[in-house]
């Protein structure tokens, strides 16, 4: 949850809208805006407008944000009556940058990865993006209609645990690992004199079937207990199940 504006970094609403935001790894600079509000603004809207028009509604005019990458997904009803998704990638290419949006490529729509790099400047070649995308693609190839949901969910969570054997010692090395074991990192420009723990707090799996059945599972990875990062024992998670209720005015017939 975004503590500054009460927003979020990843979520889905009852009508099936999905938003996912990652920060761009960069030097810390002060901004009076919160990136988390972009996610919540999109999820709270049921606008029938195309995603390209939606960006102008969720982002205040002339607002400047710390660097971010934002994936927006809006449900559509296919001609077969099943649920599909329209998608849009939004970024400012770094703190204070101009907002730019683009459609996903066919490859990205099939199996893609978004992380903390700058779009068009090598972000897709980050080791953790390459590894996770390859593993995700392999996992998808193994799936069929007979595979139990639990098996798929466990495979996805296993994918999110990957990290190299060597310990992370500086921010630049975060691009080499999917899961980040807790590490103390100093952030220049924050005014803090002591290092702050940085690591993977939780992992999330979201599945949406073409019939509209959705499951959202959030699993705790590391928690701070008396200032010390620990892994929950036994493991803890939260699971939400519901049926996506696509609003009539947001449904689009397509082939």
Please check whether residue 148 is in contact with residue 154, taking contact to mean a CB–CB distance below 8 angstroms.
no
Structure tokens at 127: 């080791």
Q: Which percentage of the chain shows pLDDT scores above 70? A: 90
Is the link from the previous residue into 234 a cis peptide, with omega within 30 of 0?
yes
9 pLDDT exceeds 80?
yes
In this prediction, residue 255 carries a pLDDT of 45
In this prediction, residue 194 carries a pLDDT of 59
DSSP 57-88: HHS-TT---SSEEEEEEEEEEBTTS-EEEEEE
- Residue 167 or 157, more confident: 157
CA 100, chain centre distance (Å): 18
In this prediction, residue 4 carries a pLDDT of 55
In this prediction, residue 195 carries a pLDDT of 63
Helix (H) and strand (E) counts in the chain: 5, 12
Measured distance between the N- and C-terminal CA atoms of the chain, rounded to whole angstroms: 37
Kindly report, residue by residue over 205-252, the tens digit of the pLDDT. Answer: 999 999 999 999 999 999 999 888 999 988 899 999 999 998 765 545
Give the C-alpha separation, 66 to 166, whole Å.
30
Q: C-alpha distances in angstroms, 43 versus 11, 15, 58, 149, 217? A: 7, 9, 10, 26, 18
* Sheet of strand 100-102: strand arrangement: 10-12, 18-23, 68-77, 83-91, 100-102
Using pLDDT thresholds of 50, 70 and 90, give the confidence band for residue 157. very high
Per-chain mean pLDDT for the chain: 88
Kindly report, residue by residue over 29-71, the tens digit of the pLDDT. Answer: 888 888 989 999 999 987 777 898 888 888 877 889 999 999 9
Give the C-alpha separation, 158 to 135, whole Å.
10
**Which of 42-51, 73-82, 85-94, 211-220 shows the lowest mean pLDDT across its residues?**
42-51
Helix (H, G, I), strand (E, B) or coil at 41: helix
Stretch 189-209: mean pLDDT, rounded? 81
Please check whether residue 75 is in contact with residue 15, taking contact to mean a CB–CB distance below 8 angstroms.
yes
Residue ranges of domains in the chain: 10-250
CA-wise closest residue to 201 among 216, 188, 182, 214 = 182
Lookup result for tokens 């509000």 = 37
Stretch 124-135: mean pLDDT, rounded? 95
In this prediction, residue 252 carries a pLDDT of 53
């Amino acid at each position: 949850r975004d503590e500054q504006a009460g927003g979020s970094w990843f979520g889905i609403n009852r009508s099936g809208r999905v938003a996912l935001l990652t920060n761009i790894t960069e030097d810390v600079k002060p901004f009076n805006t919160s990136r988390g509000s972009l996610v919540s603004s999109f999820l709270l809207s049921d606008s029938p407008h195309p995603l390209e028009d939606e960006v102008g509604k969720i982002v205040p005019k002339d607002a400047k944000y710390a660097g971010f990458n934002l994936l927006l997904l809006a449900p559509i009803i296919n001609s077969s009556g099943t649920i599909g998704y329209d998608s849009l990638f939004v970024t400012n290419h770094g703190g204070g940058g101009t907002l730019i949006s683009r459609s996903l490529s066919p490859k990205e729509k099939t199996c893609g990865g978004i992380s903390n790099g700058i779009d068009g400047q090598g972000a897709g070649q980050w080791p953790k993006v390459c590894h996770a995308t390859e593993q995700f693609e392999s996992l998808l190839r193994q799936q069929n209609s007979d595979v139990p949901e639990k098996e798929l969910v466990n495979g996805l969570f296993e994918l999110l645990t990957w990290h190299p054997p060597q310990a992370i010692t500086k921010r630049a090395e975060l691009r080499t690992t999917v899961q980040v074991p807790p590490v103390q990192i100093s952030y220049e420009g924050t005014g803090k004199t002591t290092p702050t723990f940085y690591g993977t707090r939780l992992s999330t799996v979201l599945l949406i079937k073409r019939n509209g059945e959705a499951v959202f599972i959030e699993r705790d990875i590391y928690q701070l207990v008396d200032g010390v990062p620990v892994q929950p024992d036994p493991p803890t998670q939260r699971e939400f199940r519901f049926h996506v209720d696509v609003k009539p005015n947001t449904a689009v017939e397509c082939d």
